[in-house]
Structure 1
C-alpha cells in the first residue's frame, strides 16, 4: 500500500515546483523530500521525476500519478471532514416509540424535518421489547419507553408522565362498574396492562382482564377509539392516543377518583454518544411532551 505521506510530498513538489519550497511548506528537510520521492519511485518501480540541477520534469508515469495522487488526497481530506462533521440540522434521526407517544411526537418530527430539509426522520412505532432490541443492535439512535430497560447496556431516563384515561362513547355519563359491564371492553395490545393500572385502582370489582366482557379488539393505535365512538364498548388508553383521535365529539373521557399515569423514559445505549442532531431532537422532545 502506498504511503499517503509520500503522495502528499510528491503532490506538493509538483505544485511548488521546488524542493526547497516543498520542504518549507511541509516542515521537512530537502533530503526528506528526496527520500519520500525515492521511496515512492521504488514502491511503484517507476521513475517519476527527472532532475536537472535545481529543476525537474515529470515523466509520463509521474504525470499519470499526479492526477491519481491529487484525487486520493482529496478523498482522504473529504473523508476526514465528513467523519468530523456534526451539525444539528443534517443527517438521519432514527427514533422508535410506543404507539401513543408516537402519535404525539411524529407530527412534530415532520415539522422539524420541514424546517431542516437536510434531516431525514426514520420513525417507528413499536412495543418496549422491540425498542430495547433495536437499541442493542444499534438500528435506532434513541427510543422512548414506558418502562425501564431490561438490559444494563440501555440507560433509561424519565422524561414525562402520560395519564391513562378511561374512554367511553360520548353518550355515557355515569361510568359505574355496571355501566362498563353493559358496554363491554375494546381490547388492544396493552389494554390488559392499562386496565390493571387504572381500573384496578378505581373499581373494587376489577380482578383481571377477564373482569369485563370483551366486545372488540384493535392493534392499530389510531383506530382503537373508532369502535368506542360507535358505541361498541369502553377502553383504557394513554392520553396522547386519546388526544390524537379525530372524532373527539363522539367519545367521553371520565375523570376517576384515583388518577394513574405511565412514565415515559428516554432510552439510549450507554456507550453511544449523541450526535448533535440527536441531541437537538431530545431537547425538542422534552419540550413537546410538556405541551
Structure 2
C-alpha cells in the first residue's frame, strides 16, 4: 500500500513545479520533500522524475502516478468532508420491513424525501428471512422485523407493536371453530406464524385439529385480502395491512377474547453506527407506529 503522505508530497511537487515551494506549502523542509519523493520511487521501483539541475520533468511512470494519485487523493478528501459533515438531510438510506409495515410507512417516508431533496431511499418489502439475509450481507442499513434475529452479527431491539386481526368476509357476523373450518384459510408468507399466535391464543382446537384447509395463497401484501373479500376464506393479518385494503365494507374484523400484538424489532448490524440521516426516518416510523390505532 502506497504511503499517502508521500503521494500527497509528489502531487504537490508536480503542481508547484518546485521543491522549495512544495516544502513551504506542506510546512516541510526541502530535504524532507526530496526524501519522500525517493521513498515513493523506491516503492514503485522506478524513477518518477527526470531531474535536470534544479528543474525536473515527469517520466511516463511519473505521469501515471500523478494522474491516479490526484484522483485518489480527491476521492479521499471528498470522503473526509462527507464523514465530517454527516448532514442529517443528505444521503442514501437502505431500509426494509415486512409488507404490512411498509404499507403504512413507505408513503410517510416519501413525504420526507419531498421535504428534503438531498435524501434518497431504497425501501424493500420483504419477509423476515429475506431482511435478515440482506442485513447480514450488507445490502441494507436498517430494517424492521416482526421477530428477533438469530444472527449474532445483528442487533435487535423492540421498536413498536402491531395487533394481529382475524378477518373474514363481511357476511360472517360471528366466528367459532366450525365456522373457520368451513371458510378455510387464506395463506400468505407469515400466515402460519400469525395464525399460530392469534388462533392458538383464542381457539383451543387450533392445536388439536388437523390444519385448516387452505383456500387461497398470495405472497403480495396488497392482494392477500382479495379472496377474503370475495367470500373465499378468512385470514390473520397485522392491522396495518387490513387498514390498507379497499373496500373495507367487504371485510369483517372480529374482536377476540385474547388480543395478540406482534412485536416489531429495529434491526441493524451490531457494530454499525448509522449516519444522522437515519434519525429523521426513525422518528417518522416511530411516530407512525407508536401508539398504534387498531380498528376493533
Range into which the TM-score falls when normalised by the shorter chain: 0.7 to 0.9
Number of the residue aligned with 2:133: 133
Number of the residue aligned with 1:172: 172
Q: Distance in 2 between the 1:262 and 1:156 partners?
A: 15
Q: Distance in 2 between the 1:3 and 1:205 partners?
A: 71
Q: Distance in 2 between the 1:66 and 1:185 partners?
A: 71
CA displacement, residues 109-153 of structure 1 (integer Å, 9 cap, x when unaligned): 333333334433222222222222222222211221111111222
The count of residues paired between Structure 1 and Structure 2 equals: 285
Q: Contact 2:166/2:235 (CA < 8 Å) preserved in 1?
A: yes
The structural deviation recorded for 1:5 is 4.1
Number of the residue aligned with 1:94: 94
- Structure 2 counterparts to residues 16-95 of structure 1, below 5 A: 20-36=20-36, 43-44=46-47, 46-48=49-51, 50-51=53-54, 57-59=55-57, 61=58, 69=66, 72-73=69-70, 75-82=72-79, 85=82, 86-95=86-95
CA displacement, residues 191-218 of structure 1 (integer Å, 9 cap, x when unaligned): 2222222122223333368454433222
Structure 2: 5+ residue runs without aligned partners? none
Larger Rg: 1
CA RMSD, Structure 1 to Structure 2 (Å): 3.2
Q: Distance in 1 between the 2:123 and 2:209 partners?
A: 31
Change (3 A) 1:209 1:280: farther
The structural deviation recorded for 1:275 is 2.5
Q: TM-score, normalised by structure 2?
A: 0.80
Q: Contact 1:163/1:239 (CA < 8 Å) preserved in 2?
A: yes
The structural deviation recorded for 1:241 is 0.8
Q: Distance in 2 between the 1:148 and 1:40 partners?
A: 51
Q: Contact 2:153/2:270 (CA < 8 Å) preserved in 1?
A: yes
Q: TM-score, normalised by structure 1?
A: 0.81
